[in-house]
């Protein structure tokens, strides 16, 4: 009996005793605040990737908008060239196209066509005469349009004859081999986003092109190239020029229909 009372008392003491604290585990040392250099490098790398991904479409959109604006400028020039021919006649009543604005010599780079006293053009190739035509002097990249004209289509004393049509000295190549170049009575172009070979709006020449086809459009001869754009790693090198021209038959057809030059 006594032993039972002792066991009961011990059980009561154990029930009233507070619970033992949980076992202690190893606690890692406290970490100091902030990022490590490796973590900072990873974050900066991720931010760079995100920014590059956002910037690439934006830069592409800007170039596309500038190209669209430049194409509109080229079309405005076409309208102005036809308007000039419709409103200028030689002594026999025949129309003619404007002359280029020369890039060297007296009265160069003033936007006015440069014509000799006998009625011929001072130069066959130069700036598009933006003041004479009343159009913008530069493309969306701040460079002046190049303009070339066949002499027989821009003589103020011997205008454009329909029968027979004057010789069109300008040629346009649409492919590298250029086996059958197109003929042009007049041609004008933008030297594209890279602006190589152009005269800038300040009247200073830009660097010369590296690509063969772009060099062809900047050497002031009678041969020009018009083809899709390519990068510097392609055959013929980089090319981003935008070219328009007036085919002789098209020009004569417009003039015959509008002013009866035939």
Q: Give mean pLDDT, residues 116-120.
A: 97
State yes or no: pLDDT of 150 exceeds 70.
yes
Percent of the chain with pLDDT over 70: 82
Q: How far, in Å, CA of 99 to CA of 101, rounded?
A: 7
pTM summary value: 0.77
pLDDT digits (tens, 9 = 90+) for 230-262: 998 888 789 999 999 999 999 999 887 755 555
| Structure confidence at residue 205 (pLDDT) | 95
Q: How far, in Å, CA of 83 to CA of 15, rounded?
A: 112
Q: What is the arrangement of strands in the sheet containing 146-149, beginning at the earlier edge strand?
A: 125-127, 146-149, 186-190, 242-246
> Do residues 148 and 224 make contact, with C-beta atoms less than 8 angstroms apart?
yes
Q: Give mean pLDDT, residues 27-38.
A: 62
pLDDT band at 102; cut points 50, 70, 90: very high
pLDDT digits (tens, 9 = 90+) for 182-218: 999 999 999 999 999 999 999 999 999 999 999 999 9
Query: Which alpha helices (DSSP H) does 127-228 contain, by range?
Result: 130-133, 212-216
> Do residues 192 and 244 make contact, with C-beta atoms less than 8 angstroms apart?
no
Structure tokens at 119: 């009625």
Q: How far, in Å, CA of 45 to CA of 246, rounded?
A: 52
State yes or no: pLDDT of 29 exceeds 90.
no
Of the candidates 161, 165, 181, 201, the one whose C-alpha atom is nearest the C-alpha of residue 243 is 181
pLDDT band at 69; cut points 50, 70, 90: very high
Structure tokens at 61: 């959109």
pLDDT band at 129; cut points 50, 70, 90: very high
Average pLDDT, rounded, for the chain: 86
What's the DSSP call for residue 84? Answer: H
Q: How far, in Å, CA of 224 to CA of 172, rounded?
A: 5
């Amino acid at each position: 009996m006594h032993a039972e009372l002792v066991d009961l008392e011990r059980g009561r003491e154990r029930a009233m005793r507070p619970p033992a604290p949980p076992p202690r585990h190893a606690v890692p040392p406290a970490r100091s605040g902030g990022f490590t250099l490796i973590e900072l490098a990873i974050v900066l790398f991720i931010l760079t990737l995100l920014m590059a991904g956002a910037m690439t479409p934006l830069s592409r959109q800007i170039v596309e908008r500038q190209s669209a604006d430049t194409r509109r400028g080229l079309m405005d020039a076409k309208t102005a060239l036809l308007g000039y021919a419709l409103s200028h006649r030689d002594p026999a009543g025949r129309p003619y196209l404007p002359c280029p604005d020369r890039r060297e010599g007296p009265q160069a780079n003033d936007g006015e066509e440069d014509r000799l006293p006998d009625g011929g053009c001072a130069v066959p190739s130069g700036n598009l005469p933006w003041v004479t035509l009343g159009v913008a002097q530069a493309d969306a990249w701040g460079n002046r349009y190049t303009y070339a004209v066949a002499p027989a289509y821009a003589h103020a004393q011997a205008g454009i004859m329909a029968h027979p049509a004057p010789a069109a000295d300008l040629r346009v190549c649409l492919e590298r081999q250029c086996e059958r170049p197109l003929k042009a009575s007049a041609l004008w172009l933008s030297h594209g986003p890279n602006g190589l070979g152009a005269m800038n709006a300040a009247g200073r020449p830009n660097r010369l092109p590296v690509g063969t086809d772009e060099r062809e459009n900047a050497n002031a001869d009678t041969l020009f190239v018009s083809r899709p754009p390519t990068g510097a790693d392609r055959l013929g090198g980089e090319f981003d020029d935008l070219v328009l021209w007036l085919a002789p038959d098209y020009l004569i057809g417009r003039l015959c229909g509008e002013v009866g030059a035939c």
